[in-house]
Amino acid sequence: MEKPLLDPKTVAKNQVKIALLSVFGGILISFLLAFPIKWLWNWLVPGLFAGPEISAIQAWGLTFLTRMIIPTNVTLTEPKKDDKNNPR
């Protein structure tokens, strides 16, 4: 009997590592993307509307809140053409 090329436990550990790195990487990128929002807000809102200046954490919170209210829909695959619910 031949031994499999990859041990299932090793594959599972690698998948967990990749998932955790993806989550932490996404959080890091989301915090980095909050800075342009903070800069734009602090440049525009206080002068135009006499609103308060915000911190990077508040800008991240605004981004998070916006994504909850207006979700983005990313489709990585094309829908099936024979799908009866899809009027293509």
Q: For the segment 36-73, what is each residue's pLDDT rounded down to a tens digit?
A: 999 999 999 999 999 999 999 999 999 888 888 988 77
Q: What pLDDT score was predicted for residue 85?
A: 64
Reported confidence tier of residue 9, pLDDT bands at 50, 70, 90: confident
Least confident range of 6-10, 54-58, 69-73, 83-87: 83-87
Asked whether residue 29 carries a pLDDT value surpassing 70, the answer given is yes
Q: What pTM, to 2 d.p., does this model score?
A: 0.59
- The domain locations on the chain are 31-73
> Which tokens in the block code for residue 18?
């990749």
d(CA 44, CA 24): 31
Q: Which helix (H) or strand (E) holds 32?
A: helix 8-49
Asked whether residue 18 carries a pLDDT value surpassing 80, the answer given is yes
46 near 20, Cβ under 8 Å? no
